[in-house]
Structure 1
Amino acid sequence: MPKILLVEDDLGLQQLTKDYLEHNGLEVEVLDRGDEVFNYLENNTPDLMILDVMLPGKDGFSVCRQVRDKFTLPILMLTAKGEDFDQVLGLELGADDYVIKPAEPRVLLARINALLRRGQPMVKSSEELQFGDLVIDKTSRIVKLSDSEIVLTSHEFELLWLLASNAGEVLSREHVHQHMIGRQYDGLDRTVDVRVSRIRKKLGDNSDKPYRIKTVWGQGYLFVSDAWDL
């Protein structure tokens, strides 16, 4: 049974969410303070964390940044309606997805299940991609650049694998979004853009003028196969 950590300081909403998720086959543990999360994760291994933005002790953005530096579990953030800044900032700090509050329970459950499915280890195979000094091993889910291991979240790895598997081919934003997020691109969601940006940063790409993972304006993303010799 998947274990969910719910970090929410509204105790009424916390209990309603916990009851609904447990009724749908999930184990839920709760915290109501942001400054308790890191210590909890050092002693427990939930499969996913639902993280509110406004929390006592430490806000959700600070928690997300702190957690992402050490842990790779999926993070689903709860953001205020219409707060695009909150949504983009959460993704930039390493959140995997977000739901706008007040969250409709079925939508929240669907997002959780989608993240849990994508967070499952890939079926083992001997597949490995190499481009110059970049090596992507699908079996071990390890990425190395010039023999240095690059730490990616499970969703960042899947996105990099998708792009690298189609090296030299422009993948449309709609295709990537559907593949990674599991829902149709609405023209506004920045989730994939932010993940691409994080991957570029970790792989030493130029954030202003990317030359390894390019954005082809009006078309999509292009993984450049001959840009990885250091």
Structure 2
Amino acid sequence: MDKILVIEDDLKLQKYIKDYLQAYDFEVEMVKDFNRIVQQVEESNPHLILLDINLPTFDGFYYLRVLRKKFHMPIIILSARSDEGEQIRGMEFGADDYVTKPFSIGILLAKINAVLRRTNHREEESNFVLGSLKLLNDSMKLQYKDLNMDLSKNEYRLMNMFMKRAGEVISREELLEALWDEQMFVDDNTLTVNITRIKKKLNEHGIPIVISTKRGVGYVFDPTDC
């Protein structure tokens, strides 16, 4: 179930949006303390934010800039400011869409669904999932259940090949090419060191041994127990 956080100070509009979206199986939360907007976004970790521009403290454009520096979830602006310049300003500050008030709730729902589809599609393209493991391409992290592991550039390249060719024997030559593209620049010992580091990180995060050595041939990555 997708979670939507509504940052809107009009109580009647709050209820209207919440009741409608809940009827379409969204989980909806409201910001209650407008002095803690950033903290509540962090605590809520929503899939999408609806952000009003006219707020009691700072305006929504201020919060849009702040949130864009810290978070990556999509943000749709709700605003009575229908001027084209304001809409352009919102998009330039990082909004994913701009809905002017008064609006049709059906149109808002359609825009929410469209933005979430685009976001989910981008995430599917940028991440590689294998069982409980997820390789986060944008941040070069390996995620196991709720744990995140930072990977070096070489560790990321090796994990990318291991996960895409799980269960296959991958030769040392192929892995060296994945690291440096040209075998002439390869230090064979560096490959061994990087694989040892990956094994250590996996072990430290409670992941069973999934990389085995095929002596004289290469390595096999088998995440069956993950």
In the superposition, the TM-score normalised over structure 2's length comes to: 0.54
> Are residues 123 and 80 of structure 1, via their aligned partners in 2, closer, same or farther at CA, if it must alter by over 3 Å?
same
CA apart distance, 1:119: 1.0
Match of 1:140 in 2: 137
Structure showing the higher helix proportion among its residues: 2
SS of alignment partner, residue 5 of structure 1:
strand
Taking CA–CA contacts closer than 8 Å with sequence separation of 6 or more, which of the two structures ends up with the larger relative contact order? 1
Q: How many residues align?
A: 134
Counterparts of 1:85 and 1:17, CA distance in 2: 26
Superposed counterparts of 1:27-46, under 5 Å: 27-32=27-32, 34-46=34-46
Instruction: List runs of 5+ in structure 1 lacking aligned partners.
Output: 127-137, 149-230
| More off after superposition, 114-123 vs 32-41 | 32-41
SS of alignment partner, residue 51 of structure 2:
strand
> Are residues 103 and 36 of structure 1, via their aligned partners in 2, closer, same or farther at CA, if it must alter by over 3 Å?
farther
Q: Identity over aligned residues, as a percent?
A: 41
> Are residues 87 and 124 of structure 1, via their aligned partners in 2, closer, same or farther at CA, if it must alter by over 3 Å?
closer
The amino acid across from 1:40 in the alignment is: Q
The amino acid across from 1:86 in the alignment is: E
Q: Kindly provide the CA deviation profile for residues 118-145 of structure 1, in whole angstroms up to 9, marking residues without a partner as x.
A: 111225788xxxxxxxxxxx972469xx
CA apart distance, 1:32: 4.9
Q: Which has the larger radius of gyration?
A: 2
Q: Could you say what the CA RMSD is over the residues aligned between the two structures, in angstroms?
A: 2.5
Q: Kindly provide the CA deviation profile for residues 74-118 of structure 1, in whole angstroms up to 9, marking residues without a partner as x.
A: 000012253222211111111111111112011000000111111
Match of 1:76 in 2: 76
Instruction: List runs of 5+ in structure 2 lacking aligned partners.
Output: 129-134, 141-152, 154-226
Contact 1:34 1:63 (8 Å CA) reproduced:
no
Corresponding position: 1:86 with 2:86: yes
Moved over 6 A (4+): none
The amino acid across from 2:137 in the alignment is: S
Counterparts of 1:28 and 1:9, CA distance in 2: 15
Contact 1:9 1:33 (8 Å CA) reproduced:
no
Counterparts of 1:68 and 1:31, CA distance in 2: 17
